[in-house]
Structure 1
Amino acid sequence: MAYVSAEARREQLIEAAVRVIAREGADGATTRKIADEAKAPLASLHYCFQNKENLLLAVFAQLSEEMPVSADLSEAEDASLGHALELCLTGAMRWSVENPVRARAMIEVTLWAERYDPELSVGFYATFLRSSEAILSQVDVPLSGEELQSVLRVTMGLVDGLSLQLFSDGDKERTLRDTATACAMLKAFLNESARETA
């Protein structure tokens, strides 16, 4: 049997966990099933991650790095908050459409955290909120801090809801059309808020 470095084995196990979690849910993704999917000894999973919880955290970290939740507006003609949120929402949903197994695993791990460690689940969402700071530094934000946080949470809720619809009906084109509708609604809300504060 060929030698596999610990780092390569970690990557194999994370990828296997993504597939098993997407197929069977986080609760159904036992360490044995994940090791079998990776064609790796169960002992190597415990060596690399110690336990299932650490592996699920590694899955979340990997997927959250992959999902595009920011946008570079440095050369954009429209550097408004609405346009920034549109780029982020569209990017996240295109990623979900192109990577349905990975998107499903992300949702499953988030639901697992909510069931077993609600504080951790809150931390997962805080990670996405922090990632939006890079976008917000590029735009003029016409909202108070509380209003902005609400808009960001609603945007994350749109990603979750649109992803769940994608998983249930599998209609990728409809998901992208619905994403465009959601973006238009967000921009209309922001335009109305701007008029009210003017």
Structure 2
Amino acid sequence: MARVPAAERRNDLVNAAIQVIASHGVDGATTRRIAEQANAPLATLHYCFQSKELLFAAVFERLAERYREVLVANDVHGDVSATARAILRGLMNWYLKSSDFASATIELISWAQRTREHPAEAVYNAAFKVMRSILERAASGQDIAPETIDQITYVVGALSDGYVMNWLTYADRAQAARQAEVVIDVLDAWLAAKLA
């Protein structure tokens, strides 16, 4: 059997942890179940991650990285309204395509709220920082206050969070696609009122 490099094995274990957390929740994400999902010996998981908390920290890092990638990929380099709309649409599309990431994120945020360090806050702060920088760039040349950029960032985050909870609850792709348009309409109405 060929030896799998440690970095590749860590990556496999993080991906497996996301899938297991999405399917079984944090409490059901045992190291044995995660190792089985990754087709790795349990000893390898313990070699790569000295504790389950360190594995979950790596999962949070992966989630933050993917969120950042989605935000950057949906920067349309337009005005603030067009950019906010594209970011929100991109997030909703990502949640539809990546329900494991969405489920794992919700599970981990609930778990993190019960821990002292609260790593979910770092994920949100990092995502808001990236979104804010994209929107600030889009606002250059426009008379938009920094507080308004912060509000847009919050509204996009709140709308996407509400959307993903609805999607995960009902798991109806056709309904979710229709609801995405409603969510975009809500953002457009809010932006029109705020930026008028």
Output aligned runs, 1:1-198, within 5 Å: 1-67=1-67, 68-70=70-72, 71-74=74-77, 79-117=78-116, 119-140=118-139, 142-195=143-196
Deviations 1:68-98 (A, max 9, x none): 1233334xxxx22121111111111111111
TM-score by length of 2: 0.87
Once the 2 structures are TM-superposed, how far is the Cα of residue 143 of structure 1 from its aligned partner? 4.2
**CA gap 1:147/1:27 in 2 versus in 1, 3 angstroms:** farther
TM-score by length of 1: 0.87
Q: Distance in 1 between matches of 2:126 and 2:101?
A: 18
**CA gap 1:132/1:118 in 2 versus in 1, 3 angstroms:** same
8 A Cα contact 1:92 1:159, kept in partner: yes
- % identity of equivalent residues: 34
Q: Unmatched 5+ residue regions in structure 2?
A: none
Q: Distance in 2 between matches of 1:127 and 1:4?
A: 32
Q: Distance in 2 between matches of 1:155 and 1:142?
A: 20
Q: CA RMSD in A?
A: 1.9
**CA gap 1:14/1:2 in 2 versus in 1, 3 angstroms:** same
Q: Distance in 2 between matches of 1:142 and 1:151?
A: 14
Amino acid at match of 1:65: E
The aligned length equals 191
8 A Cα contact 1:35 1:45, kept in partner: yes
Q: Unmatched 5+ residue regions in structure 1?
A: none
SS for the counterpart of 1:27 is coil
Q: Distance in 2 between matches of 1:82 and 1:181?
A: 16
SS for the counterpart of 2:138 is coil
Q: Distance in 2 between matches of 1:34 and 1:117?
A: 24
Once the 2 structures are TM-superposed, how far is the Cα of residue 13 of structure 1 from its aligned partner? 0.6
Q: Distance in 2 between matches of 1:119 and 1:130?
A: 18
